[in-house]
Structure 1
Amino acid sequence: MHNSIERTPIRAHLTDHMVIVNAQAVETGPTRRPAAVLIWSTTDQKIAFSDPKGNLLFEGKAALVAPEVIRRLRTTDSTFFSLNFEPGNRHFLPLSRLVARQDFMPLKFDRFSELSDELQSRFELADYKGIEELSDELALTLLPRTNAKHLRDERIDLLLPLLESNQPPELNSLAQMLHLSKDRLSHLFADDIGMPLRSYVLWRRYRRALLALQSGEKIATVAHRVGFYDHAQMSRTFLTLFGYSPSILKCPKFIRISGIQSN
């Protein structure tokens, strides 16, 4: 793995359903993330994605990456931004459809270069609201003007806060609360959010753990508090979703995470 600890720490900001990453010269293990990822280099250096065996999948200055694509990321001598639009974000489904047939959609670098300095400045100032607004604008520039806005069922909006608990209600209880069958709720959730309910619960558990890891607590304590079965389950999840182990993500010299506080 590239020795990123000696470089500027990775900065990750978590909004409600998006993760914004600013980093320099990193190399991850294989990841498979349920997010539509907009990524671009801030210099002339290219970003490279490869499969778990090292075969090149994409190389370029900017791209939109489809959800659930297994890949390794490598950048050298270049700062980059990565906007991860997650299930539940209003741009997740439209962006996913946009890149559905090709996994990696090359993008023109020019459209991002002028915003890189502004984003960098807002990170320095900890202007996270400004970062979120710019990220929203960038997503809209990629989508066709004729793109129909997906209207989410209001019952799903009522459901989402309940899933933020470290021990959320079981599917059967949720279905009874909404006066739906389990099958109907499962299909409705997947259609409106873009991933199965159980997978969504695991993803949100992972996000809470991301913030909790930098609190100084032991990894086993964090795993138990946010709802993982044990340390091993959390470690496997982190390696799959982020490409790094929880022990590395505890290190503020490697990564600094800000955003919504964990429960």
Structure 2
Amino acid sequence: MTQHAPSQLLIEPGVLAIFGAVPKTAAHQHTLIQITLPMDDADMCLTLPNHDAIQLNGASIINQDVSHQLTMQAGWVILIEPSCNVGKQLTAKLADKAFIEIEINKPLNSTLTLSELLGLCGLTPALQTTLPQTILDARIARLLDKLNRCIGKECVKPQQWRAADIAVELNLSESRFLHLFKDTMQIPWRPYLLWRRLICAVQTLQQGRTATEAAYIAGFSDSAHLSRTFKKQFGLSLREYQKR
């Protein structure tokens, strides 16, 4: 059996990429666009239960909110926010389809940078979470800037991210803030915040800290709560993720 490199983690605003093995996941869906890139010599099966149980065995892009199950011996899984520049390119490629298959003409490995990975997928790797300032509301831009400070650093406690409190800070009503955020980011605030908290948990685990510490830092009540949320979002329990 071919030996593959250990897991790798790359995080930029708007994008999370993980290299490694993926044990069989439960059916799950999330608000992100997903790129799956198996190694050339690695077995992979991606099933879409709600689309005639279609099975994909090669590189592919899955649209947001599409239920899927994945088993992969080794490769990259890249999760992308639909509102970032790369997400907009993917949305155009998908053209409202649930998924598309793509062709990668160069060999993959675990040492590729995020820009190189996205380039292999035919994307321009402009890794900004925010939209161009001419489009993005300045208040949402300030909020995203604060969230992005967590990447690679200690996470800001989630009690500071209550919608009502953020709305006051931005001089908006809570309902107006929630509408504006969803309209701008194409993801409602609460699921978006959950995604960001899970990024905090993943990067904490990558630093060698315990699941209990990751849960505390990311604002979950305990490691069991974090694991349940992780499985609902990604189809794997925290223990299964750590064993990869």
TM-score bracket, normalised by the shorter chain, equals: 0.7 to 0.9
Matched, 1:166 2:148: no
Counterpart-to-counterpart distance in 2, 1:38 and 1:221: 29
Listed as ranges, the gaps of 5+ residues in structure 1 are 1-5, 142-147, 255-263
Q: Name 1:249's counterpart in structure 2.
A: 241
Report the AA paired with residue 208 of structure 1. C
Distance 2:93 2:114 in 1: 21
Paired AA for residue 75 in structure 1: M
RMSD: 3.2
Q: Deviations over 1:108-162 (max 9, x none)?
A: x2xx122x34xx2xx44xx6xxx12224433537xxxxxx978322221101244
**Greater RCO (Cα-Cα under 8 Å, separation 6 or more):** 1
**Given the alignment of the two structures, is residue 69 of structure 1 paired with residue 69 of structure 2, yes or no?**
no
In the alignment, which residue of structure 2 is the partner of 1:226? Answer: 218
Amino acid in the other structure paired with 2:114: E
Alpha carbons of structure 1 residues 218 and 60: separation in structure 2 relative to 1, 3 Å: closer
Percent identity between matched residues is 23
Q: CA deviation at 1:193?
A: 1.3
2:96 aligned partner: 101
Distance 2:89 2:18 in 1: 21
Correspondence 1:34 to 2:11? no
Distance (whole Å) between structure 2 residues aligned to residue 217 and residue 132 of structure 1: 24
> Of 114, 139, 148, which residue of structure 2 is paired with 1:155?
139
Task: Report whether the alignment pairs 1:80 with 2:75.
Answer: yes
CA separation in 2, counterparts of 1:57 and 1:242? 19
Asked if the contact 2:45–2:56 (Cα under 8 Å) also holds between the matched residues in 1, the reply is yes
The equivalent of 1:188 in structure 2 is 180
1:176 shift after superposition: 1.9
8 Å contact from structure 1 (residues 83, 135) kept in 2: no
Q: 1:70: how far off?
A: 1.7
For structure 2, the residue ranges without an aligned partner over 5 or more in a row are: 125-130, 151-155
Runs of 4+ in 1 over 4 A off after TM superposition: none
Residues 176-234 of structure 1, C-alpha deviation per residue, up to 9 Å, x if partnerless?
A: 22222222211111122121111111111111101212444432332122211232321
1 CA distance for matches of 2:184 and 2:105?
Answer: 33
The alpha-carbon deviation at position 238 of structure 1 amounts to 1.0
| TM-score normalised per structure 1 | 0.72
TM-score, scaled to structure 2: 0.77
Aligned pair count reads 227
Counterparts of 1:198-209 in structure 2, within 5 Å, are 198-209=190-201
Which among 53, 56, 66 is matched to residue 53 of structure 2? 56
Q: Does 1:140 align with 2:123?
A: yes
**CA–CA distance in 2 between the matches of 1:175 and 1:213?**
31
- Distance change in 2, residues 1:93/1:218 (3 Å): same
What's 2:231 paired with?
239
Structure 1 residues 194, 97: CA separation in 2 closer, same or farther (over 3 Å shift)?
A: farther
